[in-house]
Amino acid sequence: MSAPGQDNAVDTRHDRFVTLQGHILQQQQHHPEATGTFSWILSALSISAKIIAAHVRRARLDDVLGSVGSENVQGEQQQKLDVIANEILLHTLGGREGVAIVASEENEEPVIIKRDPRGEQKYCVLFDPLDGSSNLDVCGAVGTIFSILRQDRRSPAVEDSLLQPGSRQIAAGYVLYGPSTVFALTIGRGVDLFVLDPAYGAFMRVEQRVRIPEASKSYSLNEGNRQTFPAGYQRYLDWAQSETYSSRYAGAMVADVHRILLKGGVFMYPPTTKAPNGKLRLMYEANPMAFLVEQAGGKALAAPGQRILDVQPSDIHQRTPVILGSPVEVDHVVRHLA
């Protein structure tokens, strides 16, 4: 029986008990032709996230902080947990039948390539295993970013299937390892959030169809590089500070985008003198985050008039500038870049 004055209220208490696996099965009902292959890939990502979360929590106790003393393909120092997270994802995804290609930001070439003579539908999974890993030594937030594409069977080589614009992604998401472990997911029907409940060992759905606030007076970027930004970005920062905007920067894209998803604002990684094409990777970071942000009602641009999801990649490690977040705030940046 409804409480007085709540005759039209909808009882949503049961939503608290929907797991990520249950959510995936619910979404599968919209696709009667589904075979379950795609669901198994999302399951592998969920399992990987739980294992990585456990390693992150025990990083100091297990002495897996710091650098391994080698560089990845990007020329960046690899952290011990970078390597561990990468191996976990490669192992869990590599065992899934529906995976044609697995590509990691940490590896120069796609690591797993499966050729299927039967011509069945396969998927390509790309990921950044541990975004913001330099935060680990100071107990800062880190995360995993992933993107899923359908294999393009018209491509002469299996690995060429990776070079698709972000608009062709069928799913994307991130896992934030912070005070709680949050799994954000879109399969093209909005953005849903899940939190890992350590009591049950399952990701529980906590919010559906997340919407980014239209505007919020905050920005996120590394102002330490300000003097090397193009003039338009410097004009924007002068304007934003005169308008009493707040600066919020966590040093991990996952953490910054998660805050913007919930609170609004704009995240930027401009080109610099040292990195004229930008620093973030199109395939592993920009595309999946742009897909999430657009699905939540935001905007994601590489430059004025250039939607990130429309960029045609020419290399799996291609870099790009990034401007994404609340629609009004992205427009403010573009206005100063014009």
Please say whether the beta carbons of 253 and 145 come within 8 A: yes
Chain centroid to CA 181: 14
Q: Does residue 75 have a pLDDT over 70? A: no
* Structural domain span for residue 264: 218-337
CATH number, domain containing residue 320: 3.40.190.80
pLDDT number for residue 137: 86
Residue with the two structure tokens 């060429």: 160
| Amino acid type, 274 | K
Q: Could you report the per-residue pLDDT of 96-129, keeping only the tens digit for each? A: 888 989 999 999 888 877 766 565 668 999 999 9
Among candidate residues 148, 189, 153, the one with its CA nearest the CA of residue 168: 148
**Is residue 197 located within the same domain as residue 224?**
no
More confident residue, 198 or 114: 198
pTM above 0.85, yes or no: yes
**Is residue 297 located within the same domain as residue 321?**
yes
Query: What is the dihedral angle through the alpha carbons of 6, 193, 54, 200, rounded to the nearest 10 degrees?
Result: 30
- Given pLDDT bands bounded at 50, 70 and 90, which one contains residue 2? very low
Please say whether the beta carbons of 102 and 92 come within 8 A: no
**Is residue 189 located within the same domain as residue 283?**
no
**Is residue 184 located within the same domain as residue 264?**
no
- Given pLDDT bands bounded at 50, 70 and 90, which one contains residue 136? confident
Q: Does residue 6 have a pLDDT over 80? A: no
Report, as an integer, the average pLDDT of 15-36: 75
2 is a domain residue:
no
**Is residue 225 located within the same domain as residue 323?**
yes
The span from the CA of 81 to the CA of 2, in Å, is: 51
Among candidate residues 168, 167, 127, the one with its CA nearest the CA of residue 151: 168
Q: Could you report the per-residue pLDDT of 152-186, keeping only the tens digit for each? A: 877 666 678 899 999 999 999 999 999 999 999 99
